[in-house]
Amino acid sequence: MSQRFLIEQCNERVGNKNLAPVLSELLGINPDAAYRRMRCTTELSFNEIQKICIHFNISFDSVINYRGRLVPFQFNGMFQDKFSIIGYLSNIEQELKMLAGLEDNNGRITMTAMDLPYFRQFGFKSLSRFKLFFWQRSVLNLDEYSARKFDADESLGEYEDITDRIYQSYHGIPSVEVWAPETLDSTIKQIQYYLESGLFVDKSSAYQVCDDIDALLTKLEGEAQSGRKRIIADQDLISSTFEMYQSDIFLSNNCIQAVKDGRTYTYVSFNSFNSLMSYSPHFSDECNRWIEQIRSKSILLSEVSEKLRYQFFKSLRSKLDNLRETI
């Protein structure tokens, strides 16, 4: 089973290419021997596993079926020399594309939204630009941003293309999302911090970010009412089912579970915007039980509960109105 799982991960990384010629060249074996290893009729040696893991950037721990307290994780260290926001966003884009492209709608996302999900915020230019600027100036402390102030009208070039694609892919994936009255709080505090620190070029930029949050809430409320996410991209409608819940229990973290082909990938947020990812069935099952407990104690806002849905969004807009008064 471990060898089969390793081969599956290799297949994911080669995409549409045939894995056999790649393994044949990598391991120095003929194609027939490569196929036997892919079919698991021939066991991989330790040296072969080592070469495969290094070449495909696969953690050996991830292919072991852990059932105890030890759980393997995968993460991108944001303070390492090779880390880049573009690379980070590219990984997200590829994963969402894969989920959105699965046939028979067997791909889906379940998440708890302690903070505003970036899948949502990337569809709104000023808000998206603010978040990307905030990450690079205030989280990563990049030198080129240290003397800059945020300008909502300043394009971020290639960042905007990739965030648009992420936003589109998100709308093609069925999702169950648990939101809370505190979901907007961290974003509002970030805006307040920039106001108090004089990091907006002018008040207009701060107002534009607030207007985008308002537009996001309006779109979200409409989709909760209909039970579907919708977006027009390149004159085509992208749509998928959407279940939204309100939790009055404080959500301690952002947890995302992506399901594809019967396998669950669990992402737990840390370090502001980064995440740890695990394939571990044991860990994913624990997280799923936690999410289901939160969901079972939450209020379903999509399609039903018109009064409670109105009150929930009214409370979020009240926070936004207070922020506008501060500006």
Angstrom CA distances, 66 to 21, 50, 299, 316, stand at 31, 19, 35, 42
CATH number of the domain residue 50 falls in: 1.10.260
Compute the distance between CA of residue 4 and CA of residue 299 in angstroms, rounded to an integer: 41
Domain that residue 32 falls in: 2-63
Do 117 and 185 belong together in one domain? Answer: yes
Q: What share of the chain is helix, strand, coil (3-state, %, to 5)?
A: 55, 15, 30
The answer to whether the CB of 303 falls within 8 A of the CB of 227 is yes
> From CA 120, how far away is CA 84, in angstroms rounded?
21
Q: Is residue 12 part of a domain?
A: yes
Residue 80 lies in a domain: no
| Residue environment code for 23-33, b if the CB has 16+ CB neighbours within 10 A, otherwise e | bbebbebeeee
Residues 42 and 112 in one domain: no
Residue 11 has what pLDDT?
87
Are 147 and 259 part of one and the same domain? Answer: yes
On the 0-12 / 13-18 / 19+ scale of CB atoms within 10 A, 56 is middle
- Tokens 């992506």 belong to residue: 258
Same domain, 160 and 244: yes
* Residue 72, domain member (yes or no): no
Q: For residues 323 and 156, give the distance between their C-alpha atoms in angstroms, rounded to a whole number.
A: 25
**205 within some domain:** yes
Low-confidence stretches of the chain (pLDDT < 50) are none
Cα radius of gyration (the chain): 22
Task: Say whether both 108 and 37 belong to one domain.
Answer: no
Q: Is the dihedral of CA 60, 66, 69, 74 positive or negative?
A: positive
| Together in a domain, 12 and 97 | no
Are 44 and 110 in the same domain? no
Q: Is residue 70 part of a domain?
A: no
* Domain count of the fold of the chain: 2
Tell me whether residue 51 is in a domain. yes
pLDDT of residue 215: 96
Partners of 232 in beta bridges: 237
Structural domain contains residue 149: yes
Which tokens belong to 200?
């907006």
SS3 labels along 37-94: HHCCCCCCCHHHHHHHHHHHCCCHHHHCCCCCCCCCCECCCCCCCCCCHHHHHHHHHH
pLDDT digits (tens, 9 = 90+) for 164-202: 999 999 999 999 999 999 999 999 999 999 999 999 999
Same domain, 11 and 115: no
132 and 19 within one domain: no
Same domain, 37 and 116: no
What pLDDT, on the 0 to 100 scale, is given for residue 104? 56
pTM exceeds 0.75 for this model = yes
Is residue 95 located within the same domain as residue 52? Answer: no
Shared domain check, 316 and 254:
yes
**DSSP three-state, residue 140:** coil
CA distance 41 to 63: 18
What integer pLDDT is reported at residue 103 of this predicted model? 58
pLDDT at 65: 58
69 domain residue, yes or no: no
Question: 78 and 142 in contact (C-beta within 8 Å)?
Answer: no
* Vertex 246 angle, CA 182 and 318, to 5°: 50
